[in-house]
């Protein structure tokens, strides 16, 4: 019995480095980036996300294991736009120039994205330019997945040129599937065009732009600061005037404040996931949109 375990352990020890070498090790900050990276890498890569699903990536506290994950990685995919600033400190600690800013395995997925709501200045360590921070939830426009997967493909082909053709084929297949889905989603959301919606946090400008949704207000004006009475009274007034029937909340947002506004206005609360895995049945990038759009359409149908 003991012998059998020893043999098994020896086999595993022999196998694991070979295994690790075969599959490219990728670390992503969020589950969304992981899902998109996997769409390009498929079984040629091994991707892990640092922030667990449904945790707020903006105030994530890295754990010791995260340094280890970064040390073992050959590629890093981050959201950028000040959304995951903490990863800079992790990279400095792990001391891996090849996946740090400027290295071949460093992917800032916000590269070449048309950023919305740019105002003010970025607080992150940049390249000396005053790039505004903008709204960081750009992956919520499915069309942006084309740009994001393009940036990821470029990095993968740079690190692993032998498999470049496979990565290219994977991405094309994913984009074809996404394109077909996009037509379906646009058709499903057509009845919601111009229907006024209020959300707790401003996570949705990219989704709104793509599907022509009308977010008329937000309960939270600044992240982490509770709304003032004047603002809350204003929101309630707007909702009554414009007949807002849908109130969007993400699972990690305070239930009580949203419930309070709903009770004042009679609007229905719809739980949407801003990230893959934040809600059940949002296991990858495409099912994230499937679930959100189903929740929105069924709430709108009940009105």
Partner 1 sequence: MIEPLLFLWPSFLVAVCLVGIHAYFGIQVLARKVIFVDLALAQIAALGATVAFMLGHPAQSAATYGYSLAFTLLAAVLLAFTRAWGTRVPQEALIGVIYVVAAAAAILLIDRAPQGAEHLKQILTGNILTSGLNEIAVIVPLYAAVGLLHWLLRRRMTGTGALIWEFVFYASFGVVVTSSVAIAGVLLVFSFLIIPAAIGVMFASTLARQLAIGWIVGTFTSAAGLAASFNFDLPTGAAMVCAFGVALAVAGLLYPFLRGNRQNALRVATATARWTVTTILAAAALQLAAAPRADQPLIDLIEVAVPSLRTLYFTRAEHATFVDASEYAERYRREAEQLNEVERRNRTQGVAFDDFFVARISSFLKSYGEMRKGEQFVMGEVRARARERIRWSVSLGLLALALLFAPVSWRRLWTRTSSCPAWRDRRRQNPVFARQCSRR
Binding site for partner 1 (CB under 8 A): 52-56, 114-121, 129-132, 134, 143, 193-194, 205, 208-209, 212-214, 225-233, 251-257, 259-260
Closer to partner 1 by CB, 104 or 226: give it: 226
Rounded-to-integer distance, Cα 23 and Cα 114, Å: 32
- Residues 300, 43: Cα–Cα separation, whole Å: 39
Q: Select 143 or 158, whichever has its Cβ closest to partner 1.
A: 143
Half-sphere exposure of 112 (CA within 13 A, CB side): 12
In the bound state with partner 1, the residue whose beta carbon lies nearer, of 44 and 115, is 115
Q: Whose CA is closest to 152, among 281, 28, 10, 16?
A: 28
Distance separating alpha carbons of residues 287 and 303, to the nearest angstrom: 25
Distance CA 49, CA 53 (A): 9
Q: Which of 261, 231, 232, 233 is nearest to 246 (CA)?
A: 261
Interatomic CA distance for residues 267 and 243, integer angstroms: 9
Of 45 and 272, CB closest to partner 1: 272
- Rounded Cα distance between 208 and 73, Å, is 35
Structure tokens at 186: 């646009």
Are 274 and 206 in contact by the 8 Å Cβ rule? The answer is no
Q: How far is the CB of 128 from partner 1 (least distance, A)?
A: 11
Is 37 or 144 the residue whose CB approaches partner 1 more closely? 144
Least Cβ distance, residue 54 to partner 1 (angstroms)? 5
Shortest reach from residue 86's CB to partner 1, in Å:
16
Q: For residues 166 and 252, which CB has a smaller minimum distance to partner 1 in the complex?
A: 252
As measured in angstroms, the least distance from the Cβ of 132 to partner 1 is 4
What does the alpha-carbon distance between residue 125 and residue 210 come to, in Å, rounded to a whole number?
A: 30
Q: C-beta of 189: minimal distance to partner 1 in Å? A: 12
**Among residues 78 and 210, whose Cβ is nearest to partner 1?**
210
- Rounded Cα distance between 162 and 148, Å, is 21
Least Å distance, CB 155 to partner 1, is 21
CB of 139 to partner 1, least distance (A): 15
């Amino acid at each position: 019995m003991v012998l059998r375990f020893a043999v098994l352990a020896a086999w595993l020890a022999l196998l694991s480095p070979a295994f690790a070498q075969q599959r490219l090790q990728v670390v992503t900050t969020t589950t969304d980036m992981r899902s998109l990276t996997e769409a390009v890498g498929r079984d040629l890569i091994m991707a892990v996300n640092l922030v667990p699903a449904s945790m707020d990536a903006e105030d994530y506290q890295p754990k010791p294991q995260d340094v280890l994950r970064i040390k073992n990685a050959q590629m890093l995919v981050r959201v950028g736009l000040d959304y995951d600033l903490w990863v800079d400190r992790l990279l400095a600690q792990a001391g891996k120039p090849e996946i740090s800013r400027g290295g071949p395995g460093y992917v800032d997925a916000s590269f070449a994205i048309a950023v919305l709501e740019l105002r003010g200045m970025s607080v992150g360590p940049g390249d000396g330019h005053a790039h505004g921070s903008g709204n960081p939830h750009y992956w919520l426009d499915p069309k942006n997945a084309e740009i994001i997967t393009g940036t990821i493909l470029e990095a993968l082909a740079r690190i692993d040129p032998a498999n470049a053709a496979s990565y290219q084929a994977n991405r094309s297949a994913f984009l074809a599937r996404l394109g077909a889905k996009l037509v379906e989603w646009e058709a499903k959301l057509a009845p919601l065009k111009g229907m006024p919606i209020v959300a707790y946090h401003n996570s949705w400008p990219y989704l709104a732009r793509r599907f022509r949704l009308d977010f008329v207000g937000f309960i939270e004006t600044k992240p982490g600061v509770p709304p003032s009475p004047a603002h809350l009274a204003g929101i309630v007034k707007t909702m009554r005037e414009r007949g807002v029937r849908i109130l969007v909340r993400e699972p990690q947002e305070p239930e009580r404040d949203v419930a309070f506004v709903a009770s004042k206005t009679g609007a229905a609360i719809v739980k949407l996931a801003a990230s893959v895995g934040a809600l059940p049945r949002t296991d990858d990038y495409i099912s994230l949109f499937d679930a959100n759009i189903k929740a929105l359409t069924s709430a709108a149908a009940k009105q």
